[in-house]
Amino acid sequence: MLNIVLIAGSPGIPSRVATAADHVAWRLQEQGATTATFDVNAFDPAALLYADTESPAIRQYLARVAEADAIVIATPVYQSSFSGVLKLLLDPIPQNGLRNKIALPIASGGSPNHLLVLDYALTPVLSALGADSILNGVYVTSSELSRTETGYRIGEAIRARLDDAATELHTRLVGVANAATPASTYRGARDAATLIRRAAG
């Protein structure tokens, strides 16, 4: 069974980007995958702040990340970059901890102007963690979600983009599992390893 970990990096409750990530998780579950979502509320703040890898919650989190076939990282845009909370959640992951995993980034910003956060902020950190390949991410602007009494409701257009991203991730994982869709022939992804090789000449 496909096993996917979602890391939601907003300190907000409720959170727009966590709502988007929840939708992707739900779609993946519909397609038969197992998902686990981690956000800042899953941890003792001191353990997270000091990257205490002996803390039971962080150990369990790292074990789930290690077992995952894919990682979805979700962050609000803060000061034109990803949030500090997302960084706290990524820092305990060991070097190359995302090796052999596919990554899907999701970002939510107040304006569409920071769309490239997906490329200039999230792609490098996912590459540094060794992600095998990084799918084209989804950028959500705040106005694409409406506030409800209990949280946020996602609009139709963004719902369709999130559905497409979840399907793309699932298709890619099934392809890898069956070795029927090798990573190098897949058109919808940016292959981090290939990019690094090209950059290195």
Binding site for ligand FMN (CB under 6 A): 10, 12, 15-18, 76-80, 108-111, 114, 142
One-letter amino acid of 187? R
Amino acid at residue number 93: I
Q: Which residue is nearest to ligand FMN (CB)?
A: 109
C-beta of 65 vs 107, nearer to ligand FMN: 107
Q: Which two tokens stand for residue 57?
A: 């919650």
Q: Which two tokens stand for residue 90?
A: 């990524």
Q: What's the closest the beta carbon of residue 173 comes to ligand FMN, in angstroms?
A: 25
Nearer to ligand FMN among residue 132 and residue 139 (C-beta): 139
Least distance (Å) from ligand FMN to the CB of residue 113?
A: 6
Shortest approach of ligand FMN to residue 102 CB, angstroms?
23
* Token pair for 187: 């058109």
CA distance 71 to 82: 16
* Rounded CA separation 63/120 (Å): 28
Nearer to ligand FMN, 80 or 148 (CB): 80
Q: CB-wise, 16 or 170, nearer to ligand FMN? A: 16
Q: Which residues contact 50 (CB under 8 A, 6 or more apart)?
A: none
Any residues with CB less than 8 A from the CB of 29 and at least 6 apart, and which? 35
Q: How far is the CB of 95 from ligand FMN (least distance, A)?
A: 28
